[in-house]
Amino acid sequence: MKKPAVPVVMHDFAAQQKEVAFNLGMPNFRIQYFRGPVWGKTNEQIRKQVMEGGNPITGRPVMQELVENLTRPLAAEERRTGEVKKDLGPGTYTGTPEELQKLFLEKRYTDFLPVELPTEEKVAEMLKSTSREPGEVLGRMNPGSEAGETWTYTVKTAAINAVMAGAAPEYFPVILALGSTGMTAVNVSDNGFMAGAVINGEIRDEIGLNYEEGAVGPYAHANTTIGRAWSLLSINGGNCGKVGTTYMGTIGNPMNLIGIIMAENEEKSPFRPLSVRRGFRKGENVVTLFMGWGILSAKNWAATVWGPNMNYPEIIKEIYGTQDGWLFGTCAVLSPPIANFVRDAGYDTVEKFTEWVTGRPPGAKPAVGGNLNSGIRNAGGTFTVIVTGGSNNNYFSMGGMVPSRSVQIDEWR
C-alpha cells in the first residue's frame, strides 16, 4: 500500500518475525517489540507493563520507538532491491560417520536422534521402490501459516529423509503419498499441533504395519519409521520445526517426533474402514492424513458412567460433548472390543453412531466457522471413528484430530 506500517509483536517472536520479514523480501523490516503476552491483561496492566515498559530487545521505551519507526528516514539497506537466495550448504558432505552424525545434528537436519546416514547407495535403494523420477517435484510445504515460506522438495529429497529415518524401501510409497500432500508433520502453531495418518488396505500386511496391541505407539518398525520419515521430510524438505523461526509451540507436542501412524484393524472392526467411508474401495491402499492435538486414553476425561457397568457409547458421547471440538473436532480411536460394544448397542455403522453422538443427521456438515491463520479450516465438531489396536482389554483413546486428505498409495509405487 506504500504507506509505512509497523507491526507490534511480543519480543519472544523476534527471531521468527525476522525470518518472515526476510522471506517477504524485507530483511530489515521495522518491527516494534514489546513484553507480552497482552492476553489476559487489563487495560491498566497493558499500559503499565507493556506500553510504559521497554522493548526487551533494545531496552528503549516502546512508544517512543514506535513513533520513530514511523518517522525515522529509511536507511539505504531498507530501500534495497534485488534478489537473494539462502545458502543451504553443499549437495554432499564427506567425513567419518561420527563426524557426519555431529554435522547433521549441528545443522538441525535431524530430530536430535542419530540418523541412518544417507549415502547415495542407500538413497538409490530407497528410490527403487518407486517408478517416479528422483527429480520429480513431490510437494511444496510450509510450516502451516503465513509465518513460513513454502519450500519445494523432490522424490529424491523424500528418499534421503526416508533413509535417515531408518525406513525400509518398501515403506517408501507411503512416505511419498504423505509427502505429496504438502502437509507438514510439524506445524508451526504455538498451540502445539501434531499430525497423524491412518493407513487402510492390503499394504498394511505387505509392509508389516502394526494394527494390533500398541497400534498407535512406536511398537513396529513400519509405523515408527514412516512417521519419522514424514517428520524429517517436514524438517528438511519443508524447513519446519525450527524453534524460534518455523516452530512456536508454547509447550510443544511430543507427538511431533514420529506423529501417530495408524493402520486400521479392518479384520476385527465391525465397521467399514475409514478409507471406504471416504469413497475408496475396500482393500485399496490409502493413507488419510490427520491434524490435531493428538489422542489420550478415554479415561483422561471425566465420564459419569465410568464404573462396573460400562456404557461405552454413552462415554464416547459424553466425551464428545465436553471436548472443545471447534478446531479439530473429536476423534475416537476404538479398540475392536469397544467398537463391538458400539455395534451391539445398535449402531452397526459409523454413520449411525456419528448421528447419535453429534446429534446431526447423516450427511449434515458440521458448522464451520472462521478460517484460522494456519490455513486449517476449523472442524466445527466433526466426529471421526478409527478402529485399531488389540483386543486384550476394553480401552480406547480420544482427542482432537480431524481428517484432511486421503491419498492413494499405489500411485507412488
Partner 1 sequence: MKLRIAVTTVLCLGLVFGVSMLSHQTHAQGKRAALSGGPASMPEITVLNPMGTPPPIRLVPQAPRLDTLDGKTIYLINTGYIGTDRFMDETAKWFRANYPETSIVYRDNQSGAGLSSLSDALWAEIAEKGDAAIVGLGH
* Binding to partner 1 in span 238-297, by CB under 8 A: 238-239, 242, 244-245
Grid cell in block for residue 412: 507412488
- Give the integer Cα–Cα distance in Å for 315 and 382: 17
- Give the integer Cα–Cα distance in Å for 362 and 368: 16
- DSSP summary character for residue 50: I
Query: Which 339-368 residues touch partner 1, going by CB under 8 A?
Result: none
Crossing angle (nearest 10°) for helices 350-358 and 312-322 = 50
Whole-angstrom CA distances from 79 to 20, 25, 26, 122 are: 18, 11, 9, 47
Contact assessment for residue 398 and residue 331, using Cβ atoms and an 8 Å cutoff = yes
Query: Which 19-58 residues touch partner 1, going by CB under 8 A?
Result: 19, 22-30, 32, 36-43, 46-47, 50-51
Among 57, 58, 60, 70, which residue sits at the site for partner 1 (rule: CB under 8 A)? 70
Question: What's phi and psi for 402, nearest 5 deg?
Answer: -120, 135
Our finding on whether 105 is near partner 1 (CB under 8 A) is: no
Which residue number, 17 or 388, has a Cβ lying nearer to partner 1? Answer: 17
Which residue number, 41 or 413, has a Cβ lying nearer to partner 1? Answer: 41
Query: What is the closest distance, in whole angstroms, from the C-beta atom of residue 145 to partner 1 in the complex?
Result: 7
Among 60, 86, 128, 299, which residue sits at the site for partner 1 (rule: CB under 8 A)? 86
Buried b (16+ CB within 10 A) or exposed e, 272-293: bbbbbbeebeeebbbbbbbbbb
Nearest to 393 by CA among 272, 260, 304, 298: 298
Other CB atoms within 10 Å distance of the CB of residue 145: 17
Helix (H) / strand (E) element for 315: namely helix 312-322
Nearest to 277 by CA among 361, 357, 350, 353: 350
Query: What is the closest distance, in whole angstroms, from the C-beta atom of residue 44 to partner 1 in the complex?
Result: 9
Grid cell in block for residue 86: 539462502
Query: What is the closest distance, in whole angstroms, from the C-beta atom of residue 72 to partner 1 in the complex?
Result: 6
Q: Count CA atoms within 13 Å of residue 15 on its CB side.
A: 8
Among 237, 292, 294, 329, which residue sits at the site for partner 1 (rule: CB under 8 A)? 237
- Give the integer Cα–Cα distance in Å for 6 and 99: 45
Query: Which 121-150 residues touch partner 1, going by CB under 8 A?
Result: 123, 141, 145-146, 149-150
Which residue number, 167 or 198, has a Cβ lying nearer to partner 1? Answer: 167
- Give the integer Cα–Cα distance in Å for 126 and 181: 20
Piece in contact with partner 1 (CB under 8 A), picked from 102-110, 214-222, 305-313, 390-398: 102-110
Q: x/- string (CB under 8 A) for partner 1, residues 147-176?
A: --xxxxxx--x--xx--x------------
- DSSP summary character for residue 355: H
Extract the runs of DSSP E, i.e. beta strands, from 157-283: 194-200, 260-263
Our finding on whether 310 is near partner 1 (CB under 8 A) is: no
Query: Which 174-193 residues touch partner 1, going by CB under 8 A?
Result: 190
Our finding on whether 371 is near partner 1 (CB under 8 A) is: yes
Piece in contact with partner 1 (CB under 8 A), picked from 59-67, 192-200, 277-285, 351-359: 59-67
Which residue number, 67 or 364, has a Cβ lying nearer to partner 1? Answer: 67
Nearest to 120 by CA among 174, 166, 156: 156
Query: What is the closest distance, in whole angstroms, from the C-beta atom of residue 114 to partner 1 in the complex?
Result: 13
Burial class (CB in 10 A: 0-12, 13-18, 19+), 409: buried
Our finding on whether 60 is near partner 1 (CB under 8 A) is: no
Our finding on whether 114 is near partner 1 (CB under 8 A) is: no
Our finding on whether 304 is near partner 1 (CB under 8 A) is: no
Query: Which 215-234 residues touch partner 1, going by CB under 8 A?
Result: 232
Our finding on whether 85 is near partner 1 (CB under 8 A) is: yes
Among 58, 89, 131, 305, which residue sits at the site for partner 1 (rule: CB under 8 A)? 89
Our finding on whether 334 is near partner 1 (CB under 8 A) is: no
Query: What is the closest distance, in whole angstroms, from the C-beta atom of residue 165 to partner 1 in the complex?
Result: 10
Q: 453412531: which residue's cell? A: 353
Which residue number, 55 or 406, has a Cβ lying nearer to partner 1? Answer: 55
Query: What is the closest distance, in whole angstroms, from the C-beta atom of residue 218 to partner 1 in the complex?
Result: 22
Our finding on whether 93 is near partner 1 (CB under 8 A) is: yes
Query: What is the closest distance, in whole angstroms, from the C-beta atom of residue 342 to partner 1 in the complex?
Result: 36
